[in-house]
A and B are shown apart, each in its own frame.
Chain A
Amino acid sequence: NAGVTQTPKFRILKIGQSMTLQCAQDMNHNYMYWYRQDPGMGLKLIYYSVGAGITDKGEVPNGYNVSRSTTEDFPLRLELAAPSQTSVYFCASSYPRQEETQYFGPGTRLLVL
């Protein structure tokens, strides 16, 4: 199993541009999550999904959107990128309940200039 994969690894965006961060898992996990981590800080939850077709907001959802059309994929969409969205983004998944261990992808480093 590849586990949780994320693409791209690194991206530079100009202010106002949009992009989609890809996340996929091959563990058949029903729960998936998007976090952002700013330097010296813990992880903040952006959005999560409890299964295909179901998503919900986390602590810091503004400026982001998600969709979950399949169990495997959970893309994160940034609309109108802002410098405040410069961060490292991690996708994670867990099974079979939300309170179980979350497994993280390698992360996407995003720089908005």
Chain B
Amino acid sequence: QKEVEQNSGPLSVPEGAIASLNCTYSDRGSQSFFWYRQYSGKSPELIMSIYSNGDKEDGRFTAQLNKASQYVSLLIRDSQPSDSATYLCAAYGNNRLAFGKGNQVVVIP
């Protein structure tokens, strides 16, 4: 079982719609969780961090964490063309940050 799994294929959403991304992790001892956005040919940049169960909102982004289900999600409201990118989920545990493969999001104008 991979440490961090992002199974969804490319996600296409109309401009203004909500994009929903999901991620599961295998290490129950994971302490902190992150969503990074990566534009093609660029480095990852932090979108959200979340450390405790529940929701965390920052502008158009909401991260949700459920440690019992070992599940992290990211919602992007009012999606904009500039949100088109790959989103990487990451979980910190065992002294390192484990990354998923990422989900590509395409926002269609």
Number of residues from B at the complex interface, CB < 8 A: 20
Contact A103 B46 (CB under 8 A): yes
Which residues in B have their C-beta under 8 angstroms from that of A106? 42-43
Inter-chain CB contacts under 8 Å: number: 43
Contact B31 A43 (CB under 8 A): no
Interface of B is mostly: strand
**Taking beta carbons and an 8 Å cutoff, which residues of A are in contact with B?**
33, 40-45, 48, 58-59, 90, 98-107
**Taking beta carbons and an 8 Å cutoff, which residues of B are in contact with A?**
4, 31-32, 34, 42-46, 49, 88, 92, 95-102
- 21 pairs from A and B in contact (CB 8 Å cutoff): A33-B97, A40-B101, A42-B98, A42-B99, A43-B99, A44-B99, A45-B97, A48-B96, A58-B96, A90-B43, A90-B44, A98-B92, A98-B96, A99-B31, A99-B32, A101-B46, A101-B49, A102-B34, A105-B43, A106-B43, A107-B42
